[in-house]
Chain A
Amino acid sequence: MARIRFQSVTKRYANGATAVAGLDLDIADQEFLVLLGPSGCGKSTTLNMIAGLEEISEGVLLFDDQIVNNVPAHKRDVAMVFQSYALYPHMTVFENIAFGLRMRRVGEADLRMRVMQAADKLEITHLLERRPSQLSGGQRQRVALGRAMVREPAVFLMDEPLSNLDASLRISMRAQIRHLHTQMRSTFVYVTHDQAEALTLADRIVVMKDGTIQQIGTPDEIYESPTNVFVASFLGSPTINLLEGALERENGAACFKRGTLTIPLPALQGGARNIVLGLRPEDVGTPGDGPQLHGVVDTAMPSGADQFLGVLVDDAMLFLRVGKDVRVRAGEAISFGLNPERLHVFDRETGRSLRGAA
């Protein structure tokens, strides 16, 4: 049982670098929270503060209603899976998994039972007598998970646990981790810079950049209504198309203008200004009554079920995802229908979404 709260937490390293600045975050008990962001944005630092591995420079960290700023790591009820796995090289797999239980003076019979159960779940029973150096990457990863699992901790931390695995293993491990969360009833905090991982795993995602939170929300909220250009372009693959242009009013209705391009943006408040229009690759359809986009196909790349088109619209190259059935060749003209509700509009100066304000 643990609710974790950061209250204006700042972390400054000895060399003066500020890794996390004024962090406010409320993680609910038994939530699966994912910290997402580019390299160096302070994800690991945030996780390490929860674990008690990094001191907090300013602010307060609470577990439930207890301030834990000065509680050392070994006294927090926290388990962690490290990116490097950090398996103890001199111990067998069994002893690796059992170590945390031994430190907590769990009786030998109980300990053996819990290790065997965890090993069984992770399908590593046949590896228990091996040393970490005799395991493959995926096996090591499962041992690291097992070591955290047997502890049945209140808080379960994972720092990019899947980043060293190959693609197919990564996807099957995602399902296992999600399953683990439903079984364990612990609070999960999971660090990744892989947006697909975040979108599949999270109850809520925290998008970070340069030590500050950009947006907190469910995967849908983050994907559908990004609060700024950074969040919009960090999620989604291929990335969102961004078109710089101007917001103008024609007969009282707002529209986006760029060169020969005019796209009406109903329901948008506010006066004229420079904006950035965001269009997700999949948010185009067959031409209908609504606004349309006309361009020339530059490249067509089949990708399994879909195909990606590079389309030159005006002077801008857009990447769009369309079905296999759309048969086009490079150089051909093409038209798409747009749903204005699914267009993202950001202020060009601040990068903030103009939708959220409305």
Chain B
Amino acid sequence: MAIRAVSHDERSAFGLLAGLVAVLMAVTAFPILYSLWISLFAVNLRRPLRMPFVGLDNYIAVLSSPAFWESAGRTALFSAMAVAAVLVIATLVAVLLDQEFPGRRVLSACLLIPWAIPSVANGLMWKWIYDANYGALNGLLLQLGFINSAMIWLGDANRTLPLIANAFIWKEVPLAAILLLVTLKSIPSDLYAAAAVDGAPAFRRFVAITLPALRPGFLLVALYEAMMAIRHFDLFFLLTEGGPGGASDVVAWRIYVETFRNLSFGTGAAMSYILALATLLMSYALIRSMAEKL
């Protein structure tokens, strides 16, 4: 009796879950597997019926293209800048918010605003800030007298990546800061007291106690932000479209161009898989080192 009742419950549970599983399969697993599938074919939308199997040719083509490696270099540079800056700024913000001062709660709440803004809205906002004619950045710097004439900020190939990284950092710092703040709050105050009595001034206490305690937080933030930065697309699409002259042509942007402008789905999918694999390897390495240190 009891066994029958349980199996009946289980069956209805599976029945209820089946719908959900089917939807999940359709919207996640299917695209993932389908894109893997088409990365093995030479797809050309202009000749949709002719779709020859090419094996790993797409991957070989991508990996042997110097332009792809240039993009990969830009992605690496962008990610390195972004992750490093997020780590430093988020640490400063977290340490600041860990202090007791009037208005701390209000400030903590305000800090979350950039994080709450949708990515596209953030991109449009920075597009206006960097705008050569009406931009707030030009306005501010002109009024303060730092520049004499309006600058075409995103038009300078040397500035493009740092400026996009800046917009990315602005949005990413809040979450990272909150994560680090939680870690800071978990440090027992006795440790600081002990170090003070041991003769350590404030800065030495920070180095001896705060930094090592933040280590797992740093690794977590670095991992998360690196994954976000490597795959980031929105800002490149909204601010520069890979320009000027390819200066912001990162892998994520290249995948878009290859797939939706050149309509070369096979190589686009192959590139996606290469990027995903690279992200996976990097994450694995970071998680490994994290597990060792903890």
Contacts and interface: CB of A to CB of B under 8 A. Distances in A.
Interface residues of A, number: 27
B196 A86 contact: no
Given A84-B188, A88-B191, A103-B204, A52 B213 contact: no
A251 B195 CA distance: 67
B196 A100 contact: no
B196 A74 contact: yes
Among B190, B193, B199, residue most surrounded by chain A Cβ atoms (within 10 Å): B199
B32 interface: no
Given A86-B190, A88-B209, A53 B200 contact: no
B110 interface: no
Nearest to B190: A86
Contact of A88 (B195, B199, B215): B195
A324 B129 CA distance: 91
A90 B200 contact: no
Contacts of B201: 72, 74
A73 interface: yes
Nearest to A72: B196
Interface string A8-45: 00000000000000000000000000000000000000
Interface stretch (A75-83, A160-168, A308-316, A347-355): A75-83
A210 B197 CA distance: 26
Contact of A147 (B198, B212, B213, B215): B198
A89 B201 CA distance: 19
Nearest to B187: A89
A100 B212 contact: no
Contacts of B200: 74, 99, 103
B199 A74 contact: yes
B212 A90 contact: yes
A106 to B, nearest CB: 10
B26 interface: no
B54 interface: no
Contact of B194 (A76, A82, A90, A104): A82
A100 B198 contact: yes
A88 B208 contact: yes
B190 A52 contact: no
Contacts of B215: 90
A151 interface: yes
B209 A73 contact: no
Interface string B189-232: 01101111111110010001100110100000000000000000
A190 to B, nearest CB: 15
B195 A84 contact: no
B193 A86 contact: yes
Contact of A86 (B188, B199, B212, B213): B188
A179 to B, nearest CB: 22
A2 interface: no
Nearest to B293: A90
Interface in A54-91: 72-76, 78-80, 82, 84, 86-91
A89 B209 CA distance: 9
Interface in A85-116: 86-91, 99-100, 103-104
A151 B198 contact: yes
Given A88-B208, A90-B212, A99-B208, A73 B190 contact: no
Contacts of B213: 89-90
Interface string A125-145: 000000000000000000000
A79 B197 CA distance: 6
A149 interface: no
A104 B200 CA distance: 9
A76 B193 CA distance: 13
B197 A74 contact: yes
Interface string B170-201: 00000000000000000010110111111111
Among A73, A78, A87, residue most surrounded by chain B Cβ atoms (within 10 Å): A73
A151 B200 CA distance: 13
A51 interface: yes
A87 B209 CA distance: 10
A99 B190 contact: no
Given A74-B196, A74-B199, A74-B200, 20 more contacts: A48-B193, A52-B197, A72-B196, A73-B197, A74-B201, A75-B199, A76-B197, A82-B194, A86-B188, A86-B190, A86-B191, A86-B193, A86-B194, A88-B208, A88-B209, A90-B212, A103-B200, A104-B199, A147-B194, A151-B198
Interface of A: 48, 51-53, 72-76, 78-80, 82, 84, 86-91, 99-100, 103-104, 147, 151, 157
30 contacts: A53-B196, A53-B197, A73-B197, A74-B197, A74-B198, A74-B200, A75-B199, A78-B197, A80-B193, A80-B194, A80-B197, A82-B194, A84-B188, A84-B190, A86-B190, A86-B191, A86-B193, A87-B194, A88-B191, A88-B194, A88-B195, A88-B209, A89-B212, A91-B208, A99-B200, A99-B208, A100-B199, A103-B200, A103-B204, A157-B197
Interface of B: 188, 190-191, 193-201, 204, 208-209, 212-213, 215
